[in-house]
Amino acid sequence: MEHKIKVGILGATGSVGQKFIELLKDHPWFEIAELGASERSAGKKYIDATNWIMKNQLQPEVANIVVKECTPDYESKLIFSGLDSSVAEQIETDFANAGYFVISNSRNHRFDKDVPLMIPEVNADHLKLIDSQPYKGGIVTNPNCSTIGMILALKPLHDAFKIKKINVVTMQALSGGGYPGVPSLDIIDNVIPYIGGEEEKMETEPRKILGKLGDGEIIFNNDIKISAQCNRVAVIDGHLETVQVEFENKPTKEEIIEAWENFKGVPQELNLPFAPVKPVHYFSQNNLPQPKLQRDIENGMAASVGRLREDPLFHYKFIVLSHNTVRGAAGGTILNAELLKAQGYLDKIA
């Protein structure tokens, strides 16, 4: 690729924004050209406007970019949004109206009728919804971080055996709460058994993601019953979830493992830069996966599963782990953008 596509990042000083910057370093297709944040940060060099908390040192060419306000006067036509939900709705709409493609990690537009809620391995065909959007540009959204890992693990099983019931209990990482986020006094030597709005997201988003593309909208999958319970634990990165599942056709344990091992989606076929080689990694050891040991598998873009066993109340139970700020947020959003690019949606802006 001779010319990389210039991208702007909205909410660039927040934790998702920082992760976008960290992950986009040396991206083969995209280059960071503009950074947007609140009025308070606008006009400052990025390095002076942000409290950098990523492990990789901030790349110098980004450090010196002067932060802009989040108004649709950017040169970059591709926009990654890590905006807080309190402001994302209007700003993202404004950019889309003005001709920008907004790939968002915020929840605001997830349930808009004509906005796809994308996991590229799961519902790549939903991208077509963009054609129904009234915007000069477009909006594509990412599901919630706790939904993504679970659905990556369940999609191949749903395809093969049809899921009827999902019961999930999460142990979610602190980085999911943003920065400064969860106070240390609240979580050291503790668990917080509540995350506002999280259970509702996990009980509703899968219906859209696993729904069918209809005429300018998604026909929700309302056949699956879902119950979610969400907890915050003292883990930096990596959401671990216990999942119980009941199928239309109960498979054997071996059939489930085979479905996971063979699972490939459109990103793998297209060999997208951020696509994991294997979206799901199965571990047979009885104490894996663990957040600290497996969250970085495939650069944090794959889900890890393990402890598969028959269940007295459902058909099977297992655990799934995924990196909440990579696969579950910034990395997933970048993969969405790559899919858009590979499928020609960005031709008009690139």
Residue 180 contacts its own copies per CB under 8 A: yes
Q: Whole-angstrom Cα distance, residue 52 to residue 118?
A: 28
Minimum gap (Å) between residue 23 Cβ and its own copies: 16
SS (H, E, C) 5-38: EEEEEECCCCHHHHHHHHHHCCCCCEEEEEEECC
> Do 209 and 218 meet the contact criterion of CB atoms below 8 Å apart?
no
Residue 14 contacts its own copies per CB under 8 A: no
Q: Which of 93, 204, 221, 242 binds its own copies (CB under 8 A)?
A: 242
Q: Which of 6, 87, 179, 221 binds its own copies (CB under 8 A)?
A: 179
Q: Which of 114, 290, 349, 350 binds its own copies (CB under 8 A)?
A: 290
**Hey, what amino acid is at 301?**
M
Instruction: Please give the backbone phi and psi of residue 223, each rounded to the nearest 5 degrees, phi first.
Output: -80, -20
Choose the binding region for its own copies from 38-46, 50-58, 131-139, 260-268 (rule: CB under 8 A). Answer: 50-58
Minimum gap (Å) between residue 87 Cβ and its own copies: 21
Q: Got the DSSP string for 191-225?
A: -B---TTHHHHHHHHHHHHTSEE-SSSEE---SSE
Closest among 326, 341, 344, 336 to 109, alpha carbons compared = 336
Q: Which residues are catalytic?
A: 145, 239
Residue 162 contacts its own copies per CB under 8 A: no
Choose the binding region for its own copies from 70-78, 103-111, 235-243, 251-259 (rule: CB under 8 A). Answer: 235-243
Q: Which is nearer to its own copies, 102 or 150 (CB)?
A: 150
Q: Which is nearer to its own copies, 120 or 176 (CB)?
A: 176
Minimum gap (Å) between residue 257 Cβ and its own copies: 17
Residue 349 contacts its own copies per CB under 8 A: no
Alpha carbon distances (Å) from 233 to 117, 149, 180, 188, 338: 27, 17, 16, 9, 32
Q: Whole-angstrom Cα distance, residue 250 to residue 252?
A: 7
Tokens for 77, please give them. 């036509």
Q: Which residues pair with 226 in a beta bridge?
A: 166
Question: By the criterion CB under 8 A, which residues form the site for its own copies?
Answer: 15, 53, 55, 57, 165, 167, 169, 171, 174-175, 179-194, 203, 225-227, 229, 231, 233-236, 240, 242, 244, 286-293, 296-297, 306-307, 311-314, 317, 319
